[in-house]
Each structure stands twice: as structure tokens, then as C-alpha cells.
Amino acid sequence: MNPQPSDRPVPAQFDARTADGAVLRVFAEGRGRPLLLVTGLGGTAGFWASISETLARSFRVLRFDQRGLAASTRGSATCSIETLAQDCVSVLDEAGIEQAVVLGHSTGGCIALSLAQLAPGRVEGLILSGSWLKPSRYMAAYFGARRDILGSHPQAYAATSVLCAYPPAWIEANWPIYEAALAAAPLTVQQQSVMAERIDALLAFDGTAQAAALALPVLVLGARDDMVVPAFLQEDLAAALPGCAKTMLDSGGHLFPISRPDAFTSTVADWIGRLG
């Protein structure tokens, strides 16, 4: 199916409200086929800023701050991957978009997979970027350690988010990324609580049932040197989705949308263009 863009104009910035009272700040740009971008653990629309600018040349791009982060309020619902998927429906509803391609990175891929089960009619295709089917012992140990230092050493928590997420040489050449992460460390109890519940949510997610029931075009997109979600987990995800397309970049680390923007955006645009 190739949905026609909604005739309803979408402002550059608007709010979507959820049933439990969360207010989600949404950013929209471009025209054409709707594309919803779903961020990972960090949860902010800012992650996609430069990527969205590029993709908006071809698509109508939506990105948003997830509940409790940046300009969005927390609401009262329990934070789970399913709750975060339902929030995506609220964003699409407020934008007047019936169906969109959904691109989720990292935890955002889990959210996108859950969304496809929760509201399959709203999803034209899925791009699961740097994501996984279910946590391994490696991921449980990694995110468990990060959760342990969150309250006592928030700047160390922020440092690990960068040092493990990019190739070392790329960090060295782009040091302001590291400094910005430290400046945005979750210092308050509220910020730490939101991040802790998000870690718990991603570790509790098991997408096996969602993958087995999925009947949509899917692209699994990853990087072979990812140290957060290792390539073998992304291979496992692709194996659970028979018939899916798969692209594995040779390098870029976990946050390859940032470190390899040209390869990322061209792969995404080419795959969407083949949906028909």
C-alpha cells in the first residue's frame, strides 16, 4: 500500500496528548510519504535533528520527545515498550496521519516492533535500526551496569553512553559530542527515575511474538562494530523476520545514524522508495 500524504497541514512543532495525561512534543518537516522516527534510550527528538533535515527532502518526517524527556511530560502510565508504542499512535493521530513508515533506532526498534503488533494498520513498513529481538546476557549485563551507576555517578552514566556507542577514532575527532553528553547528564532524581524505568522497559521486552506475527515489509539495519547491541543480536532479529531486508554497515558503532549519516539516510531512502 502506498498511502497518500494527509491534506491536513502539520505545523513545524505541536503537542500530542495521551490518554494518561502525557504531553508529547512533536516536530514535523518535509512533504511526501509519512516517516515516523522513534528514538532509542535517550528518547529525545534532538537525536534525529540532522538526519531529519536530510530525510525531509523526500518524506514528511515526524520525530518527538518521548514521555518524561526534554519538552514532553511524563504522564501517569507505567513505562513499558507497549506504552511507548501507544504514544506513537497518539503522535500519528495528532498529525492526522493514517499510516506511516516507522523507523526505530535501538530501543526505538523495540517500540516500532511493538507498534506494528499494537496497530498494524498504522504501519506501512518497519526499519529496525541497531535493534534486537530480546535482550541477551551481554545486554542485561551492560544495561544493568549502567543502571547501577545512574544515581550515584550520573556523569559516568552519560560518559558510557558515548564511549560505548561510537568508534573511538570517531569520538576523538568529534569530541564535542562527548562534552555535550556530559553537560546533559541526568543529574536530578526525576531525570534518573525516567531513565531507570526506560532501562527496565527495554530489558523486559521480548519481541519474539511480535516478530512471529509480523506481516509487513521490514529492513534490519545495523553496524558490525556495534558494542551496545552486538551484530549477532541484529542477525538474530533478522533471522526471526523471514523475508526481511538486511543491511549491515562495516563500521559506525551503535549510533551509526550519527557517525555514518550519509550511508544511513541513503539506505533508508532507497528502501522506502522500493515499497511501491
pLDDT tens, residue order, the chain (276 aa): 444 444 444 458 999 999 999 999 999 999 999 999 999 999 999 999 999 999 999 999 999 999 999 999 999 999 999 999 999 999 999 999 999 999 999 999 999 999 999 999 999 999 999 999 998 999 999 999 999 999 999 999 999 999 999 999 999 999 999 999 999 999 999 999 999 999 999 999 999 999 998 999 999 999 999 999 999 999 999 999 989 999 999 999 999 999 999 999 999 999 999 998
Amino acid at 43: G
| C-beta separation of 101 from 127 below 8 A | yes
Closest C-alpha to 111, from 100, 120, 102: 102
Distance CA 154, CA 147 (A): 10
Q: Would you say 271 and 219 are in contact if contact means Cβ atoms under 8 Å apart?
A: yes
**Is pTM, for the whole model, over 0.85?**
yes
Q: What pLDDT is recorded for position 11?
A: 55
Amino acid 7: pLDDT? 47
Q: Which grid cell sits at 242?
A: 523471514
Helix (H) or strand (E) holding 231: helix 231-239
CA-CA distance, 170 to 193, in Å (whole number)? 31
Q: Do residues 150 and 186 make contact, with C-beta atoms less than 8 angstroms apart?
A: yes
* Three-class secondary structure of residue 149 per DSSP: helix
Residues in the chain: 276
Angle between helices 189-204 and 107-118 (to 10 degrees): 60
Contact partners, residue 200, CB within 8 Å, separation at least 6: 79, 147
Task: Identify which of 200, 186, 184 has the alpha carbon closest to the alpha carbon of residue 83.
Answer: 200
Cβ atoms 197, 79 nearer than 8 A: yes
Element (H, E) at 26: strand 23-29
What span, in angstroms and rounded, lies between the C-alpha atoms of 155 and 215? 42
Q: Which of 90, 118, 114 is nearest to 104 (CA)?
A: 114
Joined together, the cell numbers standing for residue 270 give 532507497
Inter-residue contact 165 to 251 (CB < 8 Å): no
33-38 sheet: strands from edge to edge: 13-17, 23-29, 59-64, 33-38, 100-105, 123-129, 218-223, 245-249
CA nearest to 126, candidates 256, 16, 246, 30: 246
Question: Could you tell me the end-to-end alpha-carbon distance of the chain, in angstroms, rounded to an integer?
Answer: 7
Which conformational region is residue 71 in: left (phi greater than 0), alpha (psi within -120 to 50 degrees), or beta? alpha
**pLDDT at 159 (0 to 100):** 97
pLDDT on residue 2: 42
Distance of alpha carbon 241 from alpha carbon 107, whole angstroms: 18
Helix, coil or strand: residue 98: coil
